[in-house]
Amino acid sequence: MREGNPSKPGPSAKQEMVVGLLVAPVMADLATQLVRDLPAELTSRFSGIRFEVRVAVEPLASAAGFREDLIQVARRRMLAERWTVAVCLTDLPLRVGRRPVTAHLSVTLGIILVSVPALGAIATSFRVRETVLRLLDDLLSERLHRPKPQAPRGTRARARSRLRGFAYPVGQAEAFEAGSVRFVTAEIPGNVRLVLGMVRANRPWRLVAGLSRALVAALGATAFSLTSPGVWRIANGMGWPRLVALSLTTIAGTCLLIIVVHGLWEQSPTPAVREQVALFNAATALTLAFGIFALYVALFVLTSASGYLLIAPVVLEAEIHHQAVTREYLRLAWLVSSLATIGGALGAAVESEAAVREAAYGFRGDRRETP
């Protein structure tokens, strides 16, 4: 609320601006951080203005097909909510040609659109924060007809500025239309960063936790294999190269089985969207690979500890006919982890398609659309 005479604000009056933050449903954590940080940061950059940040969850930020759709969605929401400007965070990949689009800025409409996966998989929260702040700097400076904030002075301030620059992979600005700019990155590094960002958005570390039947089958196979003397003898006869090859084959085969059984590999309906579909397929394969690898590591740690506790050295020595040292327990844990992963794959094969898609893609399980 303005103080004093509305037509002539007093010395203590401050102009008010409302920044609307429109986020995809899976980005609640990013929204929480931005609500906490943006008002103070913007007030320090634009003196005399009080900023308020309001958050709204927008399902279309995870399902809209085209960048223009999201901009219009954000514009309509901004007008309905009476925001001054709107920032839309989407987990969809945006591209122009073969180059990823990291952000779109429309001074005329007062809209900022940021594709979070295009910022990469490392320090995502920090990168989103810096990206939104810099784009708001540009947008508000143009709308308020103010010069952009000056670069910080002093050794420490300059060092912090350089560190922030490393966390700001927005790319090159290109004029798109009157009052609009889009930011694109180089084709190869940009697409690598985009795919890794899409994998992070899928949260592969939560994959197995969402597949209850696969987890139960893996644990059951672990218990059976670990207590089987025949498995002990097989592990004793396997060399490390063979164990490595077995584990890699197991992980790859599990990923392939899940993809084929549950139809996760998408087909390109038209040549125009072939590259976009290839991005989704690459992200799907890497998501499953990371998720299954996480399962494998967890099983290895569990089996190693269980083997030491359950199998006395004298019992193991009676089967392998030589001294049971740490190497033998690790060899056994490695083989059992591979067998348990195969059991998990069979469990995943009988999971419902909805459960697999929800585990692999989160909110977007049934709503992935290709532009």
Q: How far apart are CA 63 and CA 371, in angstroms?
A: 10
Query: What does the pLDDT read at residue 14?
Result: 67
Q: Which residue has the higher pLDDT, 150 or 293?
A: 293
Structure confidence at residue 367 as a pLDDT band (50, 70, 90): very low
Give the pLDDT band of residue 324 (cuts 50, 70, 90).
Answer: confident
Q: In the prediction, which pLDDT does 332 show?
A: 95
Does 370 score more than 70 pLDDT?
A: no
Give, as one character, the DSSP assignment of residue 350: T
Residue 11 confidence (pLDDT): 43
Residue 12's pLDDT is 46
pLDDT digits 0-9 by tens, 110-160: 999 999 999 988 888 888 999 999 899 889 988 887 665 554 454 444 434
Mean pLDDT calculated for residue range 349-365: 70
**pLDDT tens by residue, 232-243:** 999 999 999 999
Instruction: Write down the mean pLDDT value for the chain.
Output: 82
Cα dist from 367 to 10, 86, 173, 202, whole Å:
52, 24, 31, 13
How confident is the model over 157-187, as pLDDT tens digits?
Answer: 443 443 344 445 677 888 777 778 888 888 8
Can you give the pLDDT at residue 222? 92
SS3 per-residue string spanning 113-172: EEEHHHHCCCCHHHHHHHHHHHHHHHHHHHHHCCCCCCCCCCHHHHHHHHHHHHCCCCCE
Of the candidates 108, 107, 128, the residue with the CA atom closest to the CA atom of residue 119: 128
pLDDT at 82 over 70: yes
Write the pLDDT tens digit of every residue in 50-59: 999 999 988 8
Mean pLDDT of 1-30: 68
What is the per-residue pLDDT for 158?
Answer: 42
Contact residues for 256 (Cβ-Cβ < 8 A; gap 6+): none
- Which secondary structure element, helix H or strand E, spans residue 9, and what is its range? none
Q: What is the pLDDT of residue 179?
A: 75
pLDDT of residue 348: 86
Q: What is the pLDDT of residue 85?
A: 94
| pLDDT per position as a tens digit, 295-313 | 999 999 999 999 999 999 9
Distance between first and last Cα of the chain: 43
CATH topology (fold) of 15-193: Collagenase (Catalytic Domain) (3.40.390)
For position 357, what pLDDT does the model report?
77
Report residue 84's pLDDT band, with 50, 70 and 90 as the boundaries: very high
* Confidence (pLDDT) at 188: 86
Q: How large is the average pLDDT for residues 357-368?
A: 57
Per-domain residue ranges for the chain?
15-193, 204-364
Question: Nearest to residue 43, comparing CAs of 130, 118, 133, 107?
Answer: 133
Phi, psi at residue 4, to the nearest 5°?
A: 75, -160
63 pLDDT higher than 80: no
Query: Could you give the CA distance from residue 186 to residue 172 in angstroms, rounded to a whole number?
Result: 9
Predicted pLDDT of residue 220: 92
pLDDT band at 362 (very low <50, low <70, confident <90, very high): low
pLDDT of 232 reads 93
Percent of the chain with pLDDT over 90: 37
pLDDT above 60: residue 368: no
Beta-carbon neighbour count of residue 319 at 10 Å?
A: 14
Average pLDDT over residues 262-266: 85
**Amino acid found at 309:** L
* Rounded average pLDDT over 340-348: 90
**Is 365's pLDDT higher than 70?**
no
Residue-wise pLDDT for 244-257, tens only, equals 999 999 999 999 99
